[in-house]
Structure 1
Amino acid sequence: MRYGLAVPATETDPPPGAAPHEGAGQRPVPGHDSRVQWVGTLAVIVAGILTIRPMGFSGHGLAVALLFVVNCAALLARRLPEVKVPPRAALVWLTLGIVAAAALIGVSRSGTGYLFAFFIAGHIGYRLETRPALVLALFCSLLCAAVLYFRLGPGHHEVPWLLGLVTGAPVVVGIVNRSRHRAILAVISAAESAERAARAEARTAVLTERSRIARDVHDVLAHSLAGINMQLELADALLDTGDLDKVREANGKAHSMVKESLKQAQWTVHALREDALPLLESLTAMIESSGHRSALTVTGTAREVPARVTQNLLRIAQEALTNAARHAPGAEVRVELTFTAASTTLRIRNGPAARAATAGTGSGMGLIGMRERVALLGGTLTAGPVVEGPDQGGWQVEAAIPDE
């Protein structure tokens, strides 16, 4: 008897309880070949056709033939995906298969009818949960042994009753195969989940980087081009007055803004390449280029901060200085950089406008961009009007970044 090598060990159906939406019954499992199962099943059927007797179209032979057909149907049904066979239906089908196998052993005078009981018992261990599988396998053993022991049919002369008693033993192999199948599917599912998580993380990183680039492009283009456009419009309006000195002044400011834009573009390239910039020196140069000399006050012991903190603080300073120039022209600007043991704080405050601001509106993204930058660093940002002190009526932006 070679059933131990032919027990279903390569089922490609999902393990019991697998959800249909997870691709149950469709996903191949490494190390499992359904062709082996088909070969084993067909071998049992062919062996039965060649050895089980009597088999005919009338009398006792017809009864054997009908039971043989029922056993073949029960054996072939194990190829059905679990999603198409509810647990209760599987229990009924396998129970009827056992009864049919025991009946075939009893009514046939010779042959390999007992192989149907072995194969069905093996599939019981694979298809059902452990407890019902063991109970049904015990029923299989007792039923087949009883048929042979009590000589309920002519088949007891060819097959010893002890063979009927072990027909349920392959259930153990089926249980082992089911556990192995479940473990393999769990590993595959975990790998797929990890891959999906990695893809989602990569997409999030891409979107975050796009947002960062969008903020940098806004800082350079929106502010610089808006300022240059204002000066060129002013120069164009002054041409009608014939005041060439003021035209030259506006034109000179436009040229200065172009040079400043080039510097800002360089800062943007540094930021995108994550080059390390010295915070204090870069902030001083930025303030001086905006026309506010000696506006920077440093409190605490100056130190180098991480590159991304430097980049974002410089962008916040650039945004605040540009907004001050646009909305409060001629106002005094104060910049404070405070170093403490726990954080680095940048505060930019401007007083009320000294002259009328040029008509025009910003993109509305400046304050949003500043908040996004600070949030990425785990810090806090406050922005609002100054309600007291010498700068009352002005505006203040304060970004506090905790040390990593």
Structure 2
Amino acid sequence: MQWALTAAVIVSGALTIRPMGFSGRGLAVAVLFAVNCVALLARGLPPGRVPPRVALVWLSLGVLAAAALIGVSRSGTGYLFAFFLSGHIGYRLPARQALVLAVACGLLCGGVLYFEVGPGHDLLPWAVGLTTGAPVMVGMLNRTQHQAVDAALSAAESAERAARAEAQAAVLTERGRIARDVHDVLAHTLAGINMQLELADALLDTGDLEKVRAANGRAHSLVKESLKQAQWTVHALREDALPLVETLTAMLESSGHRDALTVSGTPVDVPARVTQNLLRIAQESLTNAARHAPGGEVRVELAFTASATALTVRNRPATRTVDAGVGSGMGLIGMRERVALLGGTLTAGPVTEGPDRGGWQVEAVIPR
């Protein structure tokens, strides 16, 4: 559209502006017409390509050339150059500079006609010359519109970059979650199996077959426990939402702790992420209890309040010999990470008073 209007103004001027020739006034009109055409065609240059000072000089000279063309020509549409240049002044220059230059354009063109400079002063009223600066407002409006579009595009690009970053963060978070699940299932049990097999291998040299069978039996028990925990983990990873109370009850029963769950408050549906992480914390706590306090009674409490969901796992001291070895230390770290991702708190430590004194307690509190 801009190029079409520019071409229309130039063609109209070439057909109507007179005199135009190669000598005298005709040569002056031709030169001024050419200068006005160049100034008008320069509107197509991208704003970033033209420094502000260069744009100010170019448009100032264009205004002078437009006013001079009105004064020198005898007839024609030379005044259109002034109108279109004034509009572009509002688009190209800052508001203060644009307004000053537009006023100067109106005064120059109006003065040329008012003081009857040149042969064509009687064709147009001098008030028309004064209005040549008015299109600057249209140019300023277009400039504001263009800046708003640029800002919207920039905001959209920023939003897209933020969305990509969020998606990448979600991928990393999911990888961390899967890593914690894999650790919860494999780290403790595989370490225990390895220790029992090493013990059985060492006992072979002593010839004590009873102890070898006992170590082998413990290794088999750890394998079964690992398979059971793997089933729970795969189930949790595949399901979008698990019933928290029912799943926790089934987990305790499969671990040999019947009637160990106490529910206080009114059970409510919690988000799938909360359910999955609470189940993983319970699973890790039960694994630790089996390793570090074999034979000790385990009690689990699930409390629903108006502001949070709390899971407490407490085990009494061991009643059998503890021979599961030292853990990797990553279980408690994984539990803290899970709770932190949900904005909750986790406390873990020995029980120092009451009937469970000497045992261990893990408490996770997840806000609603």
TM range (shorter): 0.7 to 0.9
Q: Deviation of residue 220 (structure 1)?
A: 1.6
Matched, 1:136 2:101: yes
CA distance in structure 2 between the aligned counterparts of 1:282 and 1:322, rounded to whole angstroms: 16
Out of 214, 220, 234, the residue aligned to residue 199 of structure 2 is 234
CA distance in structure 1 between the aligned counterparts of 2:52 and 2:108, rounded to whole angstroms: 23
Matched, 1:274 2:254: no
> Deviation per CA, 1:117-167, whole angstroms, max 9, x where unpaired?
111011123223455534433332221121122121233255443432332
Aligned to 2:132: 167
CA distance in structure 1 between the aligned counterparts of 2:269 and 2:222, rounded to whole angstroms: 29
**Contact in 2 for aligned 1:274/1:308 (Cα 8 Å):** no
Describe the SS at the equivalent of 1:109: coil
CA distance in structure 1 between the aligned counterparts of 2:12 and 2:186, rounded to whole angstroms: 83
Matched, 1:200 2:165: yes
Aligned to 1:33: none
Out of 64, 67, 71, the residue aligned to residue 99 of structure 1 is 64
Q: Deviation of residue 393 (structure 1)?
A: 6.0
Distance 1:188 1:281, change over 3 A: closer
Q: Deviation of residue 388 (structure 1)?
A: 5.5
Residue type of the partner of 1:370?
M
Describe the SS at the equivalent of 2:133: coil
Describe the SS at the equivalent of 2:312: strand
Residue type of the partner of 1:153?
G
Q: Deviation of residue 352 (structure 1)?
A: 6.3
Matched, 1:78 2:43: yes
Q: Deviation of residue 94 (structure 1)?
A: 2.2
Q: Percent identical across equivalent pairs?
A: 72
> Deviation per CA, 1:268-308, whole angstroms, max 9, x where unpaired?
123223354454554455445556x4693626357355244
Aligned to 1:346: 311
Matched, 1:180 2:145: yes
Aligned to 2:228: 263
Distance 1:277 1:245, change over 3 A: farther
> Deviation per CA, 1:198-235, whole angstroms, max 9, x where unpaired?
33333333332222222212212223322332333333
CA distance in structure 2 between the aligned counterparts of 1:334 and 1:351, rounded to whole angstroms: 7
Aligned to 1:219: 184
Q: Which stretches in structure 2 are left out of the alignment for 5+ residues?
A: none
Matched, 1:40 2:5: yes
Q: Which stretches in structure 1 are left out of the alignment for 5+ residues?
A: 1-35
**Contact in 1 for aligned 2:310/2:365 (Cα 8 Å):** yes
**Contact in 1 for aligned 2:106/2:129 (Cα 8 Å):** yes
Q: Deviation of residue 331 (structure 1)?
A: 6.7
Aligned to 1:209: 174
Q: Deviation of residue 374 (structure 1)?
A: 1.3
Q: Deviation of residue 66 (structure 1)?
A: 3.3
Describe the SS at the equivalent of 1:397: strand
Q: Deviation of residue 50 (structure 1)?
A: 4.2
Out of 287, 308, 318, the residue aligned to residue 283 of structure 2 is 318
Distance 1:253 1:286, change over 3 A: farther
Out of 206, 213, 218, the residue aligned to residue 248 of structure 1 is 213
Aligned to 2:296: 332
**Contact in 2 for aligned 1:260/1:289 (Cα 8 Å):** no
Residue type of the partner of 1:180?
Q
- TM-score normalised by L of structure 1: 0.76
Q: How many residues align?
A: 365
Q: Deviation of residue 87 (structure 1)?
A: 4.1
Out of 132, 153, 176, the residue aligned to residue 118 of structure 2 is 153
Describe the SS at the equivalent of 1:399: strand
Distance 1:333 1:345, change over 3 A: farther
**Contact in 2 for aligned 1:351/1:393 (Cα 8 Å):** yes
> Deviation per CA, 1:335-366, whole angstroms, max 9, x where unpaired?
3415253444333345667646455551x432
Residue type of the partner of 1:122?
G
Matches within 5 A, 1:279-294: 279-287=244-252, 289-290=254-255, 293=257
**Contact in 2 for aligned 1:109/1:157 (Cα 8 Å):** no
Describe the SS at the equivalent of 1:166: helix
Q: Deviation of residue 107 (structure 1)?
A: 1.7
Aligned to 2:262: 298
Q: Deviation of residue 318 (structure 1)?
A: 1.9
Distance 1:61 1:281, change over 3 A: closer
Distance 1:119 1:166, change over 3 A: same
Distance 1:153 1:276, change over 3 A: closer
CA distance in structure 2 between the aligned counterparts of 1:313 and 1:255, rounded to whole angstroms: 28
Residue type of the partner of 2:345?
T
CA distance in structure 2 between the aligned counterparts of 1:254 and 1:302, rounded to whole angstroms: 41
CA distance in structure 2 between the aligned counterparts of 1:94 and 1:341, rounded to whole angstroms: 72
Q: Deviation of residue 48 (structure 1)?
A: 3.4
